[in-house]
Amino acid sequence: MLRAVAEARAAQRRMRSLAKLNLELAKRETQQKATAIGVASGLAVAAFVIVLYAIGLIFALVAIVLDLWLPLWASVLIVIGLMLLAAAILGLLARSSARKALPPRPSQAIGEGERTIATVKSHV
């Protein structure tokens, strides 16, 4: 009888330990996903800023074309193209980073909790 009580208490301690570990896993996973969303936001803002600069350069290009000859505006046009390409790359990186973070639920911790419950049920 005492042995059964001791085993029950040991099982209870293990279950509490597993529950605490699952909560810690959920916290860490949520932190990682929040970090990924932050990175995605930063990259999206960077892409937006580059597009704004490109728009400014388009206006500068119009002024240069009206005032100067072809080789200068052609070089400015190349710079604008490169800036838009950089903005597109940053936008794609932001989208990729955001997809890694979604959905923002701790799926690893949930899966681990479900496996733990299934293991406990199979042993009871």
pLDDT of residue 47: 92
Task: Check residue 62 and give its pLDDT.
Answer: 61
pLDDT by position in tens, the chain (length 124) = 777 777 778 778 888 888 888 888 888 888 888 888 888 899 999 999 999 989 888 877 766 766 667 677 667 777 778 778 988 999 999 888 888 777 666 677 777 777 777 777 777 6
Q: Write down the pLDDT at residue 70.
A: 65
> Cα angle at 6 between 122 and 117, to 5 degrees?
25
**What pLDDT sits at residue 89?**
93
Omega before 71 within 30 of 0, i.e. cis: no
List % helix, strand, coil for the chain (3-state, nearest 5).
95, 0, 5
